[in-house]
Amino acid sequence: MPMRFDFETSFGVQRRRFVPLLTLRSGHLEGYAEGVMDHLPLYREETVPGALALLEGQWLPRLLGRHFATPEALALALAPYRGNRMARAMIEMAFWDLWAKHLGVPLWQVLGGVRTSVPVGISLGIQASAQATTDLATRAVEDGYQRVKLKIKPGWDEQPVAAVREAHPQIQLTVDANSAYSLTDISALQALDPYRLKYLEQPLAFDDLVDHAALQAQLRTPICLDESVTSLQDARKALSIGAGRVINLKVGRVGGHLEARRIHDLTLAHGAALWCGGMMETGIGRAHNIHLSTLEHFTLPGDTASASRYWQHDVIREPLEVNDGWMAVPDGPGIGVTLDPDTLQKVTRSCRTLHAGAAPHIDGLPDQPPSDEVY
């Protein structure tokens, strides 16, 4: 999926996403989900080649042809296996879509949602100058986005934050470091305290909680944890030791909707703030995020910006667009969106079909990312 702009973070520059898309079939019904892993283990350890090998070679052959009455029943079948939460989420989320369609109800209703539209923020990549950052932030405010998030890295933090805050004194402003800092950078992070940030997202290592707790004790700005929280137990430990006061909950990162709901309930009990993050998903993953965001405690604006911001042509028919800072939940059973076969055909690199009791059919499995993908 070629992106409409270069998106720069502390990891590097991303120009396209290589998306594994899973369709589960039962009778005439189909359930959809996508994977949020990358080709290279930059965000977390999982990769597209590794996930596809696990799904095709092990998990899907063990599940196809079996009867599962509920998502909880499916989760029990996957419970013995450790980690690989992004791959696990693909199966679990596609089954949720399939199950809700079987029941004939929207996904948000079976998840326990309480609203039919959700507040939306926007994430802005690293720009060439503070003025360019401010110009983008101004455009986002004019478009009605309820929160502006700036990507930062060492050497590029206070300057863009100061410029945007000066231009927009009242907006809800946040920053995301994508694990680019260490405890030796405390002074640079403390310099952000005067700018009234809603939170500072994932400043330290992707697998760390202890150092985040030490940092939080020396900052006025709340720390928001993203990469460090992959499960309910991670979230419990983080909140117990004061590693952060906000959690960015990405359903694809934590293994699916069941674990996401457990983390939602935990943050509600702890009184910690919560919002739904995104991984620049296509309309399939974006629709799942929107439905999840209808739960009671998703009180901060999420990352479900308009799909047209990222893609010239999405893989779904229905437009998922923000209106004055709010995203309507898609109508219809399940996630409420349908695949666009014409677009899908144009962007599909390979297709695999697995049947119950049969070996997988593999057509042109690519083992390298697109040649112009840069990190």
Tokens of 152: 């930062």
Amino acid at residue number 200? L
Asked if pLDDT for residue 145 goes beyond 60, the answer is: yes
Of residues 149, 151, 153, 237, which has the active-site annotation?
A: 151
Above 60 in pLDDT, residue 370? no
Average pLDDT over residues 73-92: 95
> Domain map of the chain by residue range?
2-104, 111-328
Q: Which amino acid is at 78?
A: L
Q: Which of 101, 149, 198, 250 is catalytic?
A: 250
- pTM exceeds 0.75 for this model: yes
**DSSP classification of residue 331:** P
- The answer to whether 101 is a known catalytic residue is no
pLDDT at 366 over 60: no
Residue 369 has a pLDDT of 46
Reported for 134-141, long-range contacts at CB under 8 A and 24+ positions apart, including other chains, are 134/160, 134/163, 134/164, 134/167, 137/164, 137/167, 137/168, 137/171, 138/167, 138/168, 141/168, 141/171
What class has domain 2-104? Answer: alpha beta
Is the CATH code 3.30.70.1350 the one for domain 111-328?
no
Strand-strand pairing, 361-363 and 326-328: unpaired
Least Cα distance to 314 among 278, 288, 338 occurs for 338
Sequence-distant (≥ 6) Cβ neighbours of residue 241 within 8 angstroms:
209, 210, 213
Whether the per-residue pLDDT at 364 is higher than 70: the answer is: no
**Higher pLDDT among residues 370 and 226, named by residue:** 226
For 208, counting Cβ atoms within 10 Å of its Cβ (0-12 exposed, 13-18 middle, 19+ buried), the class is: buried
**Chain-centroid distance, C-alpha 106:** 20
Question: In this predicted structure, which of 196-200, 258-262, 309-313, 318-322 has the lowest mean pLDDT?
Answer: 309-313
Q: Is 237 a catalytic residue?
A: no
**CB count in 10 Å sphere of residue 193:** 13
Indicate the angle between helix axes 71-78 and 257-270, nearest 10 degrees: 100
Which pLDDT band, with edges at 50, 70 and 90, does 358 fall under? low
Q: Measure the CA–CA gap between 245 and 188, rounded to whole angstroms.
A: 20
Question: Residue 10 above 80 pLDDT?
Answer: no
The percent of residues in the chain predicted with pLDDT above 90, rounded, is: 83
Q: Is 38 helix (H, G, I), strand (E, B) or coil?
A: strand
Q: Look up residue 273 and give its DSSP letter.
A: E
Using only C-alpha atoms, the chain has a radius of gyration, in whole angstroms, of: 20
Q: CA 222 to CA 243: how far, in whole Å?
A: 10
Sign of dihedral through CA atoms 76, 82, 86, 90?
negative
- pLDDT of 169 > 60? The answer is yes
